[in-house]
Amino acid sequence: MATPIIIAVPKGRILAEVIPLLTAAGIRPEAGFMDEDSRALRFATDVSGIELIRVRAFDVATFVAHGAAQIGIVGSDVLAEFTYSELYAPVDLGIGHCRLSVAEPVDMAATDDPRGWSHVRVATKYPHVTAAHFAARGVQAECVKLNGAMELAPTLGLAPRIVDLVSSGRTLAENGLVEVERIMDVTSRLVVNRAAMKTRPEVVPLVEAFRRAVGVAAS
């Protein structure tokens, strides 16, 4: 029996945006794929030889880079944070729009001017992107690595500022924070394992199917 092509898809808010693209690419997941409460991680599709795995966004790149999955959908924020030479990102899928930004408490922002920063201490799960951004501005960045609950860092004294993904800004507002500087705009990309591109003939037609699906969604 041939080894299936595995497509790694991120859990969370982007899942609803992924389904129309999969459908337009001719791939329909089995029932239960959209059930976030399900503990299942691997799902069949209606295409013989194609399966989906549902993993954390940061783990998609790892699965694909190491060949455990051949194709994945991952944010450009993750690709910027982790430079995997094994990954090829041929298609901007045009979904998952958000931005990576610096935020701080509303009271601090009222008298703060980012142009005057020389040193910042920030909590983030993007230490490399954050440090590179501030270094380009001549600002020294002390990054405290967190994997979640970023908004708690200022209120508990861990770091006065955070760098995190922002979509509507609602989560920031609910935690007394405000966006003060944008680092980068983020969209989701189709990523492919470079070795799989050469050794699995099924991969290239799949990439082209996603490319066409993006065109359909944009029209």
CB distance 17 to 23 below 8 Å: no
Could you tell me if 194 and 177 lie in one domain? no
Phi and psi at residue 26, in whole multiples of 5°?
Answer: 85, 20
* Residues 89-136: tens digit of each pLDDT: 999 999 999 999 999 999 999 999 999 999 999 999 999 999 999 999
Q: What percent of the chain has pLDDT over 70?
A: 98
User: pLDDT value at position 37?
Assistant: 73
Could you tell me if 60 and 114 lie in one domain? no
Per-residue confidence band for 1, with pLDDT thresholds at 50, 70 and 90? low
Could you tell me if 109 and 173 lie in one domain? yes
**Residue type present at position 136:** A
Could you tell me if 145 and 198 lie in one domain? no
Could you tell me if 70 and 126 lie in one domain? no
Could you tell me if 167 and 193 lie in one domain? no
Query: Residue 83 and residue 62: Cα distance in Å, rounded?
Result: 11
Find the domain containing 208 and state its range. Answer: 5-96+187-218
Could you tell me if 9 and 92 lie in one domain? yes
Could you tell me if 70 and 177 lie in one domain? no
Query: Residue 210 and residue 26: Cα distance in Å, rounded?
Result: 9
User: pLDDT value at position 12?
Assistant: 81
Could you tell me if 57 and 111 lie in one domain? no
User: pLDDT value at position 8?
Assistant: 97
| Alpha-carbon torsion (136, 142, 145, 150), positive or negative | negative
Ranges 2-6, 34-38, 113-117, 187-191, most confident: 187-191
* Residues 48-97: tens digit of each pLDDT: 999 999 999 889 999 999 999 999 999 999 999 987 788 999 999 999 99
* Residue 163, CA distances (Å) to 89, 122, 148 in order: 24, 7, 11
Region of residue 101 (left: phi > 0; alpha: psi -120 to 50; beta: else): beta
- Other beta carbons within 10 angstroms of residue 19's beta carbon come to 15
Per-residue confidence band for 219, with pLDDT thresholds at 50, 70 and 90? low
Query: How many domains does the chain fold into?
Result: 2
Could you tell me if 29 and 46 lie in one domain? yes
For residues 32-37, give the mean pLDDT.
78
Could you tell me if 65 and 124 lie in one domain? no
Could you tell me if 89 and 155 lie in one domain? no
Query: Residue 53 and residue 63: Cα distance in Å, rounded?
Result: 10
**For every residue of 10-31, which 3-state class applies, written as one string?**
ECCCCHHHHHHHHHHCCCCECC
Per-residue confidence band for 36, with pLDDT thresholds at 50, 70 and 90? confident
Q: What percent of the chain has pLDDT over 90?
A: 83
**Domain harbouring 51, CATH code:** 3.40.190.10
Per-residue confidence band for 216, with pLDDT thresholds at 50, 70 and 90? low
User: pLDDT value at position 83?
Assistant: 79
Query: Residue 32 and residue 43: Cα distance in Å, rounded?
Result: 8
